[in-house]
Amino acid sequence: MHIVVCIKQVPDSAQIRVHPVTNTIMRQGVPAIVNPYDLFALEEALRLKDRHGGRVTVLTMGPPQAEDALRKCLTFGADEAILVTDRAFAGADTLATSYALAAAIRNIDRDAAVDLVFTGKQTIDGDTAQVGPGIAKRLDLQLLTYVSRVEQVDIAQRRLRVQRRAEGGVQVLETRLPCLITMLEGTNEMRFASMDNMFRAARCAVRIWDREAAGISDVSKIGLKGSPTVVSKVFAPQARARRAELIEAEGDAPRDLALTLINKLFTRNPKLRDAIVAQPS
């Protein structure tokens, strides 16, 4: 089985700041990490490889330093890493990104047929959750979003069953291969790389594809040119002037806590009490 995992290098959003003067996002000095959902996707792919054999290729489109993110994925046990990088890709929105990634996956597929593509549910910097579906559509793959676990794969029958988180519960869905899965935070913990894998990753050559190597001829579909989306403004939300309030309760019992809260609500909003009291019990 050949699995492609799309990963994106993102700034660690826990450490990102908005420039107090210009209101732009300050990326300088903010450590870059692999988008967390993509690591769950990788873990799921590696588990399938452990069970069924085959190989895992990690793919990213980004600036040259995104190679660090790929190398990180190699340490966990990915077999091969491809960095699609070219000035022509700069300024891509989700439409142009999924176009470029789809082209790269088509290229990979020519080498060795791809059975399964993983992406994260969404990134923590762009947050659109559109790239996965965009790739699936372009490559005509079955699409399963918000997956928390791949239950089983039947390679002979070319079928796969997953758990998908949905409002109010979990759906168990089945589809045929090839397909694309977008992963939630999985239920499986990330593995701790062995020393051998650390060595392999440090020595493994990441394949670098520019636009042509990625098999893209139409430059109007990529980068800024291929991006109809315009980010017109980025701003930091204003801190609210209203303060949180610490409410002291009389006792610890659930009843006391509930009463304290209800009293609080009623004193704040007498009409609410009237309305509730007026209701027939």
Partner 1 sequence: MAEKFDAIVVGAGPSGNAAAYTLARGGLKVLQIERGEYPGSKNVQGAILYADALERIIPDFREDAPLERHVIEQRMWMLDDSSYIGTHYRSADFDQPPYNRYTIIRAEFDKWFARKVRQAGALLITETTVRDLLLDGERVIGVQTDREGGAIYADVVVLADGVNSLLARKAGFRPELNPADVALAVKEIHFLPTETIEARFNLSGDAGVVIEMFGKITQGMMGTGFLYTNKESLTIGVGCMLSDFKSQKMTPSQLLENMKSHPSIAPLIAGGEMKEYAAHLIPEGGYNAVPKIAGEGWVIVGDSGMFVNAVHREGSNLAMTSGRLAAETLLELAQARLPYTARNLARYRRKLDESFVMKDLKKYRRLPSVFHRNPQFFTAYPELLSQAAQTLLRVDGEDKKSKERAIRRSFVARRSRFGLLGDAFKMWRAFE
Ligand X SMILES: Cc1cc2nc3c(=O)[nH]c(=O)nc-3n(C[C@H](O)[C@H](O)[C@@H](O)COP(=O)(O)OP(=O)(O)OC[C@H]3O[C@@H](n4cnc5c(N)ncnc54)[C@H](O)[C@@H]3O)c2cc1C
Asked if 169 touches partner 1 (CB under 8 A), the answer is no
Q: Which is nearer to partner 1, 203 or 268 (CB)?
A: 203
| CB-based contact 162:144 (threshold 8 Å) | yes
Q: Which is nearer to ligand X, 67 or 159 (CB)?
A: 67
| CB-based contact 93:38 (threshold 8 Å) | no
Q: Which is nearer to partner 1, 12 or 111 (CB)?
A: 12
Phi, psi of 102 (to 5 degrees): -60, -40
Q: CB of 269: closest distance to ligand X in angstroms?
A: 38
CA–CA distance, 106 with 195 (Å, rounded to integer): 33
Q: Which does 204 bind (CB under 5 to 8 A by kind): partner 1, ligand X, none?
A: none
Q: Which does 193 bind (CB under 5 to 8 A by kind): partner 1, ligand X, none?
A: partner 1
Q: CB of 247: closest distance to ligand X in angstroms?
A: 36
Asked if 277 touches partner 1 (CB under 8 A), the answer is no
Q: CB of 28: closest distance to partner 1 in angstroms?
A: 8
Q: Which does 269 bind (CB under 5 to 8 A by kind): ligand X, partner 1, none?
A: none
Q: Which does 62 bind (CB under 5 to 8 A by kind): partner 1, ligand X, none?
A: ligand X
Q: CB of 190: closest distance to partner 1 in angstroms?
A: 12
Q: CB of 233: closest distance to ligand X in angstroms?
A: 10
- Residue of 14, 21, 205, 230 interacting with partner 1 (CB under 8 A): 21
**Three-class DSSP labels, the chain:** CEEEEECCEEECHHHCEECCCCCCEECCCCCEEECHHHHHHHHHHHHHHHHHCCEEEEEEECCHHHHHHHHHHHHHCCCEEEEECCHHHCCCCHHHHHHHHHHHHHHHHHHCCCCEEEEECCCCCCCCCCHHHHHHHHHCCEEEEEEEEEEEEECCCCEEEEEEEECCEEEEEEEECCEEEEECCCCCCCCCCCHHHHHHHHHCCCEEECCCCCCCCCHHHCCCCCCCCCCCCCCCCCCCCCCCCCCCCCCCCHHHHHHHHHHHHHHHCHHHHHHHHHCCC
Q: Which does 31 bind (CB under 5 to 8 A by kind): partner 1, ligand X, none?
A: partner 1
Asked if 192 touches partner 1 (CB under 8 A), the answer is yes
Q: Which does 122 bind (CB under 5 to 8 A by kind): ligand X, partner 1, none?
A: ligand X
Q: Amino acid identity, residue 10?
A: V
Q: Which is nearer to partner 1, 68 or 185 (CB)?
A: 68
Residues of the shown chain interacting with ligand X in the complex, contacts defined by CB under 6 A? 6-8, 35, 37-38, 59-62, 92-94, 97, 101, 119-120, 122-123, 125-132, 229, 231, 234
Q: Which is nearer to partner 1, 92 or 201 (CB)?
A: 201
Q: Which is nearer to partner 1, 31 or 168 (CB)?
A: 31
